[in-house]
Structures are given as structure tokens and as C-alpha cells.
Amino acid sequence: MRVPLSWLKEYVEITQSPQELAHTLTMAGLEVETLDYIGADWGDLIITAQITHLEKVPGSDHLSYTRINTGSGEIGVICGAPNIKEGDKVPLALPGARIGDLTIGVARKMGYVSEGMLCSPRELGLGSDHSGIYILDPETPLGVKLADLLSDVVLEFAIKAHRGDLSSIIGIAREVAALTHKPLRLPEPRFNEQGQPAAELVKVTVEDRELCPRYSARVISGVKIGPSPDWMARRLLMAGMRPINLIVDITNYVMLEVGQPLHAFDYDLVREHHIIVRRSRDGEEITTLDGVPRRLRNDMLLITDPQGPTAIAGVMGSAISEVNEGTTRILLESANFKPASIRRTAVALGLRTESSSRFEKGLDPELTIFGANRAAQLMAELAGGQVHPGIVDVYPQPVEARSILFSPAEVEWLTGLKVTSRQVHEALSALEFKVEEVSAAADAAGGEQLLRVTIPTFRGDIEEGADLVEEVLRMIGYDQLPATVPEGPLPEPQGDHWFEREYEIREILIGLGLHEILTYAMTSRQRMLNLLAEVNAQTAQVLLQKPADDGQAGWVIASAQERAGSEDDLASDGRKPFDARSLPAVTIANPLSNELECMRLTLLSGLMETLQENSKRNRAGLRLFEIGRRYLPRGAGELPEERRCAGLALCGPAAISWVPELARPADFYDLKGIVETLLERLHIRRYRFSAAQHPTFHPGRCAVLEVGRPGMDNGERFTPVGFLGEVHPLVQQRYDLPHRAYLCELDLETLYAAVPERLNYAPISRHQELTRDLAVVVDQQVPARAVQEAIERHGGELLRTVALFDVYTGTPIPPGKKSLTYTLLYQARDRTLTDAEANALQERIVAALGEEFGAVLRS
Amino acid sequence: MIEQLDALLAQLDALQERALRELEAINSLAELEDWDVRYLGRHRGELKNFSTLIPKLGKAERPVIGQKINAVKEKLESALEARRQELRDRELREALERERLDVTLPGRALPAGHMHPISRTILEVARIFTRMGFQVVQGPEVETDYYNFQALNIPVDHPARDMQDTFWVVPGEILLRTQTSPMQIRVMQATRPPVRVIVPGKVFRHEAIDASHEAMFHQIEGLLVDERCTMADLKGSLARFAREMFGEDRRVRFRGSYFPFTEPSAEVDIDCILCKGSGCRLCKYSGWLEILGSGMVHPRVLREVGYDPRKYRGYAFGMGVERIAMLKYAIGEIRLFSGNDLRFLRQF
């Protein structure tokens, strides 16, 4: 809402500077977004002038050459605007004047010398109109600095959604008056009524009284259509509207002034002179004033005549009964419409207008008469109109001013600000609330002072005590609020520790040299399918899988109802091209782009894309992680399952370094080491990594991590947490990375289920430890974990730790074999172990390894 | 006999002189050991040879020679020890010199990671409020229209919905939450007062992305409900937050505003951290920076969750994490947060 200060001053005396006024209003909740100083940059070289002569420039289709009277002489100016004629008074920018970034100079064009520039309203900062030169009032003196005549300050407000009453100059003036303790001066529309009564000239039928609580109409005849007077045109321009013709401008002017949207019909084009307000019927169409044909839905409110729609109520009129050059009689509509209906219609049509934005915030039905009368007055005064007696006013249920019983003590109760009853009284009265003291009723607690506050009908936003507290606070000033510390009791601890847990993971991974990234939760199906070496209905299932909820082993597929692809796809050999659209995901109905069309099912695509982005400018390797959610779809109409996850990515060396170990590109064991350290830091001791297949990963370099949970019968169940591995070369290709990439995605909910609730201290044995080394040769294919587990199993309680410290292949180890060397530490809790005991255990282990894996001791 | 004695004494002097001279020339611990054996050796050492002569001497001469031998021995032993020490010192010095490192070479550091500035800012805000007795909770990012709008006094077709352009999953029903405020409702439905929570999390707005607008960003919601809380407490709490977050001398300004789920509502500004209120480009020459929106929980919201608004009062606030981080770290471009450029991330 743009409010020219000069206009505002018509209704309230303003003694503050524009900045002070803006501050006062801003503090009271009417935020002034900008102060627009019109004319501040015009300087001395933009003056008023008159076109004395105009000729077309030969060879140009739009340029004219004009002679301009500057008040002190005559100059020539080339101009391209279509709207000028001899005799027009215009703003002239002389050489040296600045218009925006442009400095006016003397130009030679097509054989003419142009010694200045005529300006459009937009060039002068007077509004957005750039369709022609700004034509000044014919009474304007010549050769005067434009700034002396027309400079102004425009305050631009962001009107909040609940205050439709503030979408007008008078609405703002009312607040200014209340805040600065000045009287509000409302215009009093006075005009003569004559001729046939309006009631005989027009019939109004409101079929839908719910959506149209009031419809008031006046008839004005004998109007002359022409341009608006300069003062009105300029005010419209400064308020951000474009002058059109006097009648339309008056309706817009009154809307801006009093806040009541009006519509002027050409009375003679309203068929049968009958206005019918009704909902649209399915399939009806209307071409609105902007020339766009619009198909209407059956719940939209229309203004019609017996033959069809003439306007979309409260939104926009149509050409059918539009005011035109030949119009002489006006049917003036001043109506009130239900906010939600107007809003729904405007949103559905994508057509937001000055009118609809006012109606949707809620307007006072009492305002229609004032608006109609004000417009009638201006049409009589400016357009020579004759106002017919009376108003056709369909207003079946007049609004009644509501009243609230309000205790001034509520102000302190809610805000901590001590106020007297008198202050409350004054604050509310200033805002035109009617305040009466009610003698303390017997049932009022403690016989406190109560006020009966009658709410003006234009304040539909005020419903209860808290609303009045805010009004009082606005008037007394938010800056008067004291600042205290909450002293109430503290709540019981809540059970959710996820915030702390996620930060625990963050700190651990950062300590391990990984950088945290934060990517969009929105992605596209295609971006996620890029993670699969081979895309088909079966491989796509990995995007939907999650650990079984009840701690069961294995994975389950989210969204049982909507499996990826059809049964056909599943049965096929997977060579058929996979339709990305068949991947179930939380789909955004109105995405910003195809790249952001659904919610992610995995963190890995964001990690890969971030690797790709950064690898272009990073010679060192990349180590990244993200903590966020996967959004697994559930049934239709249900919220998705949001699973907390951590994704890890390594690519290339840890650093550009002279230290070979750091400069070495990351490999599988770097990633696994990070995951193992994470497990250690979380005190998760029972876990296992097993070789696994996953369509994102190298088939020989992928593991699944499972964590152990105590199960029935002292047994242990292993629940999957996530995969880790080297990215499959076919996937790697798509991201154009300079090194092999390693990815891991961990389901944090399963991971944390394995974190011990408490740590148990085991006393440290003081008895001697015996260490033995053990080197065995086994087949290459034997997993190290199996050997380690066998050693642990056969070593029993006395075997404290087993550590692998060498893995070797090559001479003298036979081909196809590998040597594994462990150091074993034997210790008893309660006695000193003898060499003989340790040796016996060692032999037992060797024998067992021989039996289980065909392992032989390395000589 | 006397001549013989004198001759022996002279020989011992000569031996001492020779041994000391040789000792001077020795340059390694190995040679030193040879010298030790040669002169002081228990069996064949030259000095030992003199000792074997003693029994052949007269009774009067024996002590003289014995004392002389001992004197020479002590002399040589102490010279040996001194020389040995010298050589050891030198050898150590040389060894240390050989092991000299270029200490200016970069260390063999384990590269450290960095926390994303958004996580870091959330943590910092959370710490400030947990010190004031708030607990951190989180909620679903895909929400229902009921929690995101209706329960917060934003009915269908309310113009306040314009303030928050929405990504819809099921239009009118399921959406990406546009604010963290739905957790106000979820928390109050799940517990009875007193309530003190803060809710950090992702939010989504259907907006064109530019230097100051993101389609996904982060908010932190705060909610306190009990039987005695007032708007003055809100001001006090936020003033304390502003001081801890932006510096001890920060001033806080409350001004009127409108949010459908608070009444009265207030916009909260701090004096500009750059110009301290005198006016600059950052604060658009107003001297103040808007940091968050707040207010007293609307009675309709309290009634919606079954709290009696005549008994319970509460305050709520919501801040944009990106905005706080941009102010705190002087970042001029919101897209950096989701850009994940390591040159940016490594600075935090």
C-alpha cells in the first residue's frame, strides 16, 4: 500500500517528519517498508514546459520533433511517445539533468537537434506508467522546477493479512490520528440528488447472501468521459495505479481513499438494468477486462445480468458492460463480499487485483454507502454527473457492532506492563472503540474494574481480550514493555534425544576429518536412479529399503502397497528400460523444477553431486558427510516415514600433503575405518561387516554393516544399519570424478538402538598377560572376519584380545593363499596364567583353524 | 735400590705422560676402550705390570711405589672418565645434529572436518535456550495442513497463507512444512504445561531462489507455556538470547506485528551489529536488524490443544537460522548454505 504524504495530510494533521512518522507507525505494527522521496532526485534541471509545435520526423514511424516553450525560451526536443499534442504541458529534462542513471545531453538525430527529454511518470519515479509522457495540469505555470510543484513522500506499507481496514489512506490516517493524538478529518460527501430514483432505474437481486452480505448501487447519469484532473491522476500514479479515464479513476481513487472497492458499469450495457449476484455455473466463461477469457468454476461468485456474467465479484469486471468513450450513465457498484470466497476465486484464476486483495482481508459492510457516496460526489463534481436519488441497498443482515467485556488487568496479566484503567480507556477510545465502565458485577472475580468495549465494525480482526491487549500495547508502545525472566517451573525432561544424538555423530565425523554438507531434501527420481549401476525395478528397490522396524534381521521395502514398477517389471529380466516415474517417492505437486520434484529416498545422491561439484575446484580429496532424513512414502494420504540417516563420502586423498599416507587416495578401508571408529565412539561393540551386493557399489567392494542386539535365549540378532563400499565404475562415470568414490549410508535409528544404555566397568586384571603371535596361511577367499571369530571362539575367556597385524600375499606364500598374522593376548582374571596354559590354547586355536579353514601355520 | 726406585718412579711418570698424551688423541669410544685395556687393564695393563714388581721391592720402597702406582692409576682413570664423557657428549651432539628436522614442514595432521554453519548456528542457539531451561524437540518435515496452518489459526482461504507459499504433496492436505510452528501444536497436544521447548528444523517455501530467498531453509521455534509467563518474559528471554548470540551490548527492540497464532505479536529487532545503530547498508540505514517474529500464544491456539487460555499463558517465537547465521558471520548470500562449496564450509 503506497500512501503519498500529501494525500494523507488531507485527513490528519502531521507534524512529525516523514522519518519520525514512519518510525511511529512501524513501532505500532504498521511497518513502513520504504520511504519514497518523489522528486528528491529531480534537481533544478527538470522543469515545466509546454509543447508549442509538433511534427512527425520523416523516416521514423514513432518519433516526433517538438518545439518546447521553457518559460524563458524555446528549444527543440525529439520525442518517441505517442500521447503528446500541441498545447500539452509536460515535464522537461534539460541537458545535464539526471533521469535514473541517464544524464540528459544534446543529441542529434535524423537531422534534428534535441536539447532535452520529455519524461514519463515512470522516469520521474511517479509510478510504473511508461506508456507515454506525463501530461501536466493545464494550469501549471511554465519554467518552474518540477520538484517545487510535485515533490512528495510516499510511504509504502506492507498491510498485514488481518487488517483490511488499513488498505486505504483513511485507514492509515485513522491510525496516525490515534497514535499522534490528532483528530481524524473524514470527507463528507455532499451532492445534489435529482431525477428518477435509482430504485426505479436498477434492480438488484442477491441470490447468494452468504457470499455477498451487502450490495449497494447508485446511478449517475450525464457523465462526461475524459481524462482525470492532474491532481487525481498524480495521486493514482504515486499510489501505484495507472490513470485510465475519469470514471474508472474515480472508482480507483475512492478505493484507495476509503478502502471500498467499487465497480462502475455502463448502465446502458447492463441488460435489463438488472444486477444478479450469484455463483457461477459449471462451464461458464467470462473475458475479463485484461482481455483474458476465463473458464469459471461453479463456486465462484459472479455479478451477472439476466443474460450472463458481467464481472467476477470483487476481482475484475468484463468488457461486456465496461465504461467506454460513449458511456453517459453509470451503475456504480459498492458491495461487500465474503473474504474466503474472493480469495479462493482469485487464487484459482491466478488473478490478484487491488480489489480482491482488499476483500480477502475482510472489509466492513458498513463502508459501502460511504464509498458509493464519495464516488457519486466526485462524479458529480468532476464529470458533470447527475446523481439519481437513493441507493439500491440489498443488506439483509446488517452487521451489529460487537462488544467485549474487558478487564484492564488483562493487559498486565498477558504482557507484564502495568497500565491504569484510564490508559486503557484512552488507548481504545483513540482507535474509535467505544468504552464504557461497567460497575463491577457480583460475579466478576474480586470485583475488578470491567470495561464494555464496543468494537467498530471496520475492525473485524478484534475478537477477544488478547486482541484488545494488543491494541492497548500498540497505543502505549511496545517499547514500554519491561524485560523480565520467566520464573515458572521447568518441565519434566522429554524423551527425545535425537538432537543430541545427531550432534554426537556430527562431532565424531568432524573429528575424523569429514566436512558436513547440507543438501536439498528435494531431488528428482532421475537423480536418485543415477546411483544405480543398472536401473531396473529390482535394483530400484534399494532406494526404498530400510532396516526392519522390530529389530529383525534383514531389510524391508518401504511402502508395501506401491512397489517400484509393476509385477511385469519385476518378472522381466530387467533389461527393459525402467520408467523413473514408477519409483515411489513423496512427490511434490507444485515443484520449483523437474530437478526438485520429489523428496529424497537417500542421502547418497546429494553426496555424489556435492563430490562432483567440489571436485572441479579441489585438488585434494573430499571427505563429506550429511545428516538428514530419507522420506519413505507410506499409504496415500499418510505422512511419509522420515528416517534419520548419516551419509558419508570419500573421494581422493585426505589432503594435498608431503606425507605419503595422507596423499594416498582414499580406499575402502579408509571408509570402513571411519565407520569402525564411529562405532567405537558410540560404544557399540557387537557388530559385523559382511560382503554384500548393492547396485550402487562395486560387487567385490561392498559391505553391509549389521549391529548386534541381545535376542532371545541369550542369543544375538544382527540388524542391518547400512551399506558401505566403493562406487560402481558405471555409477562413478556419471559423476565425472577424478578418483574412486566411497559411500556409506547409515540408518541412525537402527544404529542408536545398538548403543548400550549404560557402560559397565570391568575391573582391570592385575595378573600377568602372556602374548603369542600366530601366523596362519589360508585361502584368499576366506574372510578375515571368519578367521578372527574362530580364534575368539576357540580362545575362550582367557583370550583377552586378538589383533591382526599383518596380511601378506606373495612369495613364499603359495598363489591363491594369504598369510594372516595375529597377536593374541592371554590373561586370566583371577590367577596368573602359565606358559603351558597359553601354549595349550594356542595349539587348540591352530588345530581349529586347520580344521575349519585348512589353515596351516606359517613357518 | 734407591736408583732402582727412582728409575721406577721415572718410568711411571713417563707412562702417565705417554698415556695422557695418547688419550688426548683418541676420537672414538672404541679407541678409548683399547686405551683403557692397554693402560689400566686388570691383567695386562701396563700399570698392572708395575704392580707385579712391588713384591720384588724392599719393604721401604714398596709403599712409595704402591702410592705412586695408585696416584698414576687415579690420574689415568679420572682422565679416562673425563675423556669418555667428552666423547659421549660429542657423539650425542653429533647424533642430535644428524637428526635435525625441518620443523617448518607441515605436520602429519589428521585433517579436521568442519561443521556446517547452519548446524553450528542451531547448536549455538539451542545452547543459549537450554541454559534457560528449554528442551530441544524436532518434528516431521512433511506435515499436514492441519498442523502447519489450521491449528495455528490459519484456516483454509486465509490471506496469511500468502506469506508462506507452500510446496504441496497432496494439495490442501499434505505439505512440506513452511514453518517449525506446527511443532507448537504437536508438543502441546502431547504434554501439559509447563512447556519450554525449542524446535530447530528444515522448512520449505515455494519461492524463486535468489541471493536472499531459498526454497529450503531452517527455522528455530521457541515455545513457553505456564501459568505465569508474560510478554515481558518474552522480551527478557529474547534480550538475553540477543546478547549471548550477538554480543553483550546488544539492544533489543519490540514492535507491533501480526502472526495468526500469536496475540499480541511482536517483531524483534536488534541494534545493528555493524554500525551499532547509527545506520549503514546492512541495516538499510535504520540502525536496526530484524531477527525474529514472536508473540503471546493466541488463545485460539491454546483452546485448539485443550489448554484453558484463562489459566495458561505462553510465548512463542520463530527465527530463520540462515538469517541469524548471515548476520553473525556477515554472509551476504543465502545460497551459499546449500551450495556446499568447501571453500565456504571450511571457514566454519
In terms of Cα–Cα distance, which of B51, B47, B75 is closest to B62?
B51
- Considering the domain architecture, whether residues B168 and B67 belong to the same structural domain is answered as no
Instruction: Tell me whether residue B106 is in a domain.
Output: no
**pLDDT reported for residue A571:** 44
- Considering the domain architecture, whether residues B90 and B181 belong to the same structural domain is answered as no
Average pLDDT rounded to a whole number, residues B68-83: 92
Instruction: Judge: A473–B141 Cβ closer than 8 Å, yes or no.
Output: no
**Spatial CB neighbours of B208, under 8 Å, sequence gap ≥ 6:** A592
- Considering the domain architecture, whether residues B171 and B307 belong to the same structural domain is answered as yes
Report the alpha-carbon distance of residue A481 to residue B8 in Å, rounded: 113
In this complex, the residue of B118, B206, B231 whose CB is nearest that of residue A592 is B206
Mutate to test the interface with B, among A360, A405, A415, A610 (most CBs of B within 10 A): A415
Instruction: Judge: B296–A655 Cβ closer than 8 Å, yes or no.
Output: no
The more confidently predicted of residues A603 and A290 is: A603
**Helix A246-258 vs helix A169-180: angle between axes, to the nearest 10 degrees?**
30
Buried/exposed B312-343: b ≥16 CB within 10 Å, e otherwise:
bbbbbbbbbbbbbbbbbeebeebebbbbbebe
Instruction: Give me the amino acid identity at B7.
Output: A
Average pLDDT rounded to a whole number, residues A531-548: 92
What is the architecture, at CATH level 2, of domain A403-456+463-479?
2-Layer Sandwich (3.30)
- Whether residue A586 lies within 8 A of chain B, CB to CB, comes out as yes
In terms of Cα–Cα distance, which of B126, B340, B314 is closest to B220?
B126
In this complex, the residue of B142, B197, B340 whose CB is nearest that of residue A519 is B340
On chain A, the residues whose CB falls within 8 A of the CB of B287 are none
Q: Tell me A596's DSSP state.
A: G
Report the alpha-carbon distance of residue A178 to residue A186 in Å, rounded: 14
**pLDDT reported for residue A578:** 84
What ranges make up the beta strands (E) of A152-202? 152-157
Instruction: Judge: B138–A506 Cβ closer than 8 Å, yes or no.
Output: no
Identify the residue whose cell numbers are 575446484.
A617
State the CATH number of the domain containing residue B244: 3.30.930.10
Instruction: Tell me whether residue B186 is in a domain.
Output: yes
| Annotation: binding site of B | 263
**pLDDT reported for residue A565:** 47
Q: State pLDDT tens for residues A144-164.
A: 999 988 899 999 998 888 899
**pLDDT reported for residue A445:** 53
- Whether residue A748 lies within 8 A of chain B, CB to CB, comes out as no
**pLDDT reported for residue A159:** 87
What is the architecture, at CATH level 2, of domain A2-38+156-180?
2-Layer Sandwich (3.30)
- φ/ψ of B259, rounded to 5, equals -135, 140
3-state secondary structure of A39: coil
CATH 2.40.50.140 in chain A, residue ranges:
46-150
Q: State pLDDT tens for residues A279-309.
A: 998 889 999 999 999 999 888 999 999 999 9
3-state secondary structure of A479: helix
**Element (H or E) spanning B71, and its range?**
helix B61-98
- Considering the domain architecture, whether residues B77 and B169 belong to the same structural domain is answered as no
Instruction: Tell me whether residue B103 is in a domain.
Output: no
Q: What grid cell was written down for B86?
A: 667428552
In terms of Cα–Cα distance, which of A521, A563, A566 is closest to A544?
A563
Nearest CA in chain A to B175: A588
**pLDDT reported for residue A137:** 86
- Considering the domain architecture, whether residues B260 and B212 belong to the same structural domain is answered as yes
* Domain covering A198-394, topology: Phenylalanyl-tRNA Synthetase; Chain B, domain 3 (3.50.40)
**Spatial CB neighbours of B307, under 8 Å, sequence gap ≥ 6:** B188, B193, B225, B314
ipTM associated with this complex: 0.88
Q: Are A691 and A681 in contact (CB under 8 A)?
A: no
Report the alpha-carbon distance of residue A776 to residue A787 in Å, rounded: 10
- Considering the domain architecture, whether residues B76 and B132 belong to the same structural domain is answered as no
Instruction: Judge: B266–A637 Cβ closer than 8 Å, yes or no.
Output: no
**pLDDT reported for residue A776:** 95
Average pLDDT rounded to a whole number, residues A473-502: 92
Instruction: Judge: B232–A415 Cβ closer than 8 Å, yes or no.
Output: yes
The CA distance from B243 to the nearest CA of chain A, in Å, is 13
- From B51, B68, B98, the end of a domain falls on B98
Q: What is the 3-state secondary structure (H, E, C) of A597-620?
A: CEECCCCHHHHHHHHHHHHCCCCC
CATH 3.50.40.10 in chain A, residue ranges:
198-394
Q: Are A858 and A780 in contact (CB under 8 A)?
A: no
In this complex, how many residue pairs, one in chain A and one in chain B, have their CB atoms less than 8 Å apart? Answer: 277
What is the architecture, at CATH level 2, of domain A46-150?
Beta Barrel (2.40)
In the predicted model, is pLDDT for residue A767 greater than 50? yes
Is it true that domain A770-857 has CATH number 3.30.70.380? yes
3-state secondary structure of A417: coil
Asked if the bond preceding B194 is cis, omega within 30° of 0, the reply is: yes
Give the angle B13-B18-B20 at the CA atoms, nearest 5°.
95
Instruction: For the beta carbon of residue A318, count every other beta carbon within 10 angstroms.
Output: 21
List beta partners, residue A630: A643
Q: State pLDDT tens for residues A495-505.
A: 689 999 999 99
Nearest CA in chain A to B256: A29
Rounded alpha-carbon distances, angstroms, from residue A18 to A10, A21, A33, A157, B278: 15, 5, 13, 13, 18
- φ/ψ of A263, rounded to 5, equals -135, 130
DSSP strand pairing (B135-136 vs B195-204): parallel
- From B69, B98, B127, the end of a domain falls on B98
- Considering the domain architecture, whether residues B284 and B180 belong to the same structural domain is answered as yes
On chain A, the residues whose CB falls within 8 A of the CB of B254 are 478-479, 481
- Considering the domain architecture, whether residues B147 and B222 belong to the same structural domain is answered as yes
The CATH superfamily label for domain A499-521+600-753 reads: Bira Bifunctional Protein; Domain 2 (3.30.930.10)
How many folded domains does chain B comprise?
Answer: 2
Instruction: Judge: A27–B265 Cβ closer than 8 Å, yes or no.
Output: no
By residue range, what is the domain housing residue B18?
2-98
**pLDDT reported for residue A715:** 66
Question: What pLDDT band is residue A778 in, cutting at 50, 70 and 90?
Answer: very high
Instruction: Give me the amino acid identity at B38.
Output: R
pTM to 2 decimal places: 0.87
- Considering the domain architecture, whether residues B184 and B308 belong to the same structural domain is answered as yes
Q: What grid cell was written down for A385?
A: 454527473
Mutate to test the interface with B, among A157, A470, A490, A641 (most CBs of B within 10 A): A470
On chain A, the residues whose CB falls within 8 A of the CB of B197 are 494
Report the alpha-carbon distance of residue B234 to residue A379 in Å, rounded: 52
Instruction: Tell me whether residue B189 is in a domain.
Output: yes
In this complex, the residue of A28, A474, A487 whose CB is nearest that of residue B228 is A487
Instruction: Judge: A478–B162 Cβ closer than 8 Å, yes or no.
Output: no
- Whether residue A445 lies within 8 A of chain B, CB to CB, comes out as no
Instruction: Judge: A485–B137 Cβ closer than 8 Å, yes or no.
Output: no
- Considering the domain architecture, whether residues B163 and B264 belong to the same structural domain is answered as yes
**Spatial CB neighbours of A731, under 8 Å, sequence gap ≥ 6:** A530, A531, A532, A533, A608, A696
CATH 3.30.56.10 in chain A, residue ranges:
2-38+156-180, 403-456+463-479
CATH 3.30.70.380 in chain A, residue ranges:
770-857
3-state secondary structure of A699: strand
Mutate to test the interface with A, among B169, B206, B209 (most CBs of A within 10 A): B169
- Considering the domain architecture, whether residues B46 and B192 belong to the same structural domain is answered as no
- Considering the domain architecture, whether residues B224 and B256 belong to the same structural domain is answered as yes
